[in-house]
Amino acid sequence: MTTFSGGCLCGNVKYTGYDPQGGGFCYCDDCRRSSGTGHCSHMIVAEACFSSDGELRFYEAPADSGNIVSRGFCPNCGSPIVSRNSGMPGVVYVRASSLDQTEVFEPAVTVYTSRAPAWDQPQDSLPGFPEMPPPSDMPDLET
């Protein structure tokens, strides 16, 4: 079993989890803006395998799909920690940048490559999609 932990910059939010199911990079406009850089790195975890301590504040906004994405961050330091997508109940997307053990994150796919800025281009070694593909076209994200 793979376990992990992480938290925010100021230490007010801590989390633990186990059995990540994969993950990837997203270059959509919302991820770019919420990350403060060219893309977000998300590790997929079953919600039942994730727990956090400390206050998280959530910002909700519709994605291109119409699903609501809830982005959880520390209200003190602003560090992004986790997000949820209403179209995928039971799953959380842990921000890989908040992990204590960064090597636990194993990206398997890149989405919204068409929106990648020239200064932050996707890795050629990963399958990439110009937008968000239907679930049937996504590679198996189990690690």
- Side-by-side strand order, sheet with 14-18: 3-7, 14-18, 50-53
| pLDDT at 65 (0 to 100) | 85
Concatenating the DSSP letter of every residue in 10-53 gives: SSS-EEEEE----EEEE--HHHHHHHTSS-EEEEEEEGGGEEEE
Confidence at 64, pLDDT banded by 50, 70, 90: confident
Q: What single-letter DSSP state applies at residue 93?
A: E
Q: Please, what sign has the CA dihedral across residues 49, 72, 63, 41?
A: negative
Q: In the chain, what are the domain boundaries?
A: 3-119
Task: Please state the pTM of the whole predicted model.
Answer: 0.90
Confidence at 143, pLDDT banded by 50, 70, 90: very low
Q: Domain 3-119 has what CATH class? A: mainly beta
**Residue 96 predicted with pLDDT over 70:** yes
- Distance CA(110)–CA(37), nearest Å, equals 15
Residue 96 near residue 83 (C-beta atoms within 8 A): no
Chain segment 11-56, per-residue pLDDT in tens = 999 999 999 999 999 999 999 999 999 999 999 999 999 999 999 9
